Chains A and B, each alone.
Chain A
Amino acid sequence: MTLFSTGKARTAERDGDRLGFAGFVHKYPETVTAALLVVICVVVAILNPDFLQPSSLIDIGRASVVTGLFALGVFVILAAGGIDVSFTAIAALTMYSITLLTTSYAPGLPMVLVLAMAVGGGVLLGMFNGFLVYNFGVPAMIVTIGTQYLFRGILLAFVGTVWIMALPEQMLTFGRAPMVQFTNSNGAVVTLPLYVLVLPAAAVLTWWILNRTLMGRAIFAMGGSARVAERLGYNLRTVHLFLFGFAGALAGLAGIIHVSSNRLANPFDLVGTEINVIAAVVLGGARITGGTGTVIGTLLGVLLVTVINNVLVMVGIPSTWQRFVVGTFILLAAAFFVVRQRRN
């Protein structure tokens, strides 16, 4: 088994061998995403060669870390058949509270502990989501719309609304530490920061959980059919708690990285970007009704959305078109995947 094939894809493997191209696309929906990404990159590079400069590529890499971490969480929940929209609020609440705690009570706290606290906070808030979704028995999206407002209300009404400009030293160092650093042709220093590595690490962990553990089986089974999964003996309560807890952990991590790289904790940040993230996951080939999708596809989807958001201006399309283009892409991708399934 390769990094690509999971869940439903595998059951369709035999049909895929017979159907040639259509079967191949059915088996690996993320190839469409990859092809689209390549086409867009080539077109943009022809229209504006500046795109291929290391600095703009590194910008895209940096911009995709936070979205990528969010997207992995959204993907895991989507694979289990739910939609989460509260992850940005989880990230905002944990990042701001923990930055506030660290600056006011423990400015010397090692970075590892700061990250651990962010992950822990995210897990708690995520598990709260999971608890409610399991017990209420309504679509996860409706529950998480509620918790999004709840978490954000707690943050803005009770924790604080003031920007924290003076971050503790270890967070600044974490956001600045370079992996690759060089000076480009016009003399500016370009840095690919070390924290970029968090995304591949999280992706490998997610892949491992989904494809190598019993929990991963349970997640895809629940996404296929919750009732069948329950009859197979999976404990849906545990799966819900794990699932949302894991997504919460990724959101908490993304929040702290967002603060460290921006050198500023703004409580109004992040919330409002959830649709972009969901779009990325869906463009990566995960079906919104659950049970399918791959980690690679999700990452490709994130790159696609980040590239679209970054290059429109480079090729002379006004930035006002950005929403419309992403929205249209979602609809096209959705229609494409549905038509493809029917034909098979």
Chain B
Amino acid sequence: MRRVDGQFLVLAAINVILLGLGAAISDGAFLSIFNLQSMAGQVPEIGLLAIGVMLAMCAGDGGIDLSGIALANLSGVLSAVIVAHFVSNVEQEGLYSALFIFGALVIGFLGGLVNGTLITRFGITPILCTLGTQMAFTGLSVIVSGGKAVVVGSPEPLSSIGNEFWFGAPISFIVFIVVATLVGAALKFSPFGRWLMLSGSNPKAALYAGFPRSAVVMATYALSGTLSGLSGVIIAARNVNVKWDYGASYLLIAILIAVMAGVRPEGGYGRIVCVVFSAVALQLMSSLLNFGGLSNFVRDFAWGALLLTFLAIARYDLVSFVFPDKRR
């Protein structure tokens, strides 16, 4: 448990420092309600993808989900194309929203099942499998949309998920926190969570203990896919259009968030609360670079450097160096 607390404290400290730094640089404008709301609104779509990456990594055995953003875009695009055939997004706003959200979640779930099936039934390595499905999903979105943006418009209540607030917090952010809590609870208290973590940390022991390995992996990727679908819904809610190439850099950022959160790439360990903190920290940093007037390219550079730094921190266990165990 020592490592867990250390990682958590470091992430919390980073968040506080970034908020302070932002306030200092911008004379307090960084902490204005408007800026905080806008930053919180940008976290969910990428945070959900990061949770998906984390789950796949925890499953061990080279688990990783590279198809997240591709599946999120496919969910949005395909659902928008199908639903628009039956319902107008201007006349029947409520029905359109409900069908669109339902469609995107189902497509995400099915996409996740495809990944899970290919990995468990056909024994394809997760990296290769999700690399292939990433291309296939993106290709499918290009085909159904003809390569163009698909109009979703701003039907209520879909649009309010992306643009309205409850008690001052963006609804999308509340959705994200609720979903993260649910997934976290499932990991902590359900047999699924225990099977996932234990089989990730020692696949052989899990096999001999009689864990339902295939079912666990299947459920992991299906859950990751559903989270992608939800991310697709939030992307559609925040933007008027959905397009196949939205968020090209999200793949790296999702992995970066997971690694920053201390998720072990070889499997068996990861905490949802750290992923949430790490996603928020990354958003703070991104906004900070914007406030500093730096270009997007500097941000790319910073992300790369940051990912490598956190890999180094994990490797040399710098966290427990900074926070030594007091009991010893």
Contacts and interface: CB of A to CB of B under 8 A. Distances in A.
A136 B304 contact: no
A334 B301 contact: no
B265 A139 contact: yes
Given A153-B298, A342-B123, A138 B303 contact: no
B183 to A, nearest CB: 22
Q: DSSP class of A's interface residues: helix, strand, loop or mixed?
A: helix
A156 B314 CA distance: 29
Given A320-B142, A323-B139, A323-B142, A149 B124 contact: no
Nearest to A335: B122
Interface string A123-162: 0000000001001111101110111111111101110010
A156 B124 contact: no
B139 A327 contact: yes
B135 interface: yes
A327 B308 contact: no
A163 interface: no
Given A334-B129, A339-B122, A147 B304 contact: yes
B304 A330 contact: no
Given A149-B301, A288-B128, A338-B124, A136 B135 contact: no
A211 B286 CA distance: 48
B297 interface: yes
Chain B, interface size: which category? 35 or more
B143 A331 contact: no
A16 B141 CA distance: 42
Interface in A231-257: none
A325 interface: yes
Contacts of B139: 320-328
B311 A142 contact: yes
A136 B62 CA distance: 16
Contacts of B308: 132, 136, 143, 146-147, 150
Given A324-B139, A330-B128, A145 B298 contact: no
A326 B143 CA distance: 13
A331 B311 CA distance: 30
Nearest to B299: A153
Nearest to B312: A136
A324 B311 contact: no
Interface stretch (A41-49, A165-173, A190-198, A274-282): A274-282
Chain A, interface size: which category? 35 or more
A148 B304 contact: yes
B252 A149 contact: yes
A327 B130 CA distance: 10
B178 to A, nearest CB: 29
A339 B123 CA distance: 8
B159 interface: no
B302 interface: yes
A157 B300 contact: yes
A53 interface: no
Interface in A297-344: 320-328, 330-331, 334-335, 338-339, 342
Interface in A65-108: 83
A301 to B, nearest CB: 13
A328 to B, nearest CB: 6
A289 interface: yes
Contacts of B312: 136
Contacts of A325: 139
Contacts of A151: 304
6 contacts: A139-B62, A153-B298, A157-B297, A157-B298, A324-B143, A328-B139
Interface of B: 62, 64, 118, 122-125, 127-129, 131-140, 142-143, 146-147, 248, 251-252, 255-256, 259, 265-266, 295, 297-305, 307-308, 311-312, 314-315
- Give me the 8 closest cross-chain CB pairs, A-B, nearest first: A153-B301, A324-B139, A327-B135, A149-B304, A150-B304, A323-B139, A327-B136, A156-B297
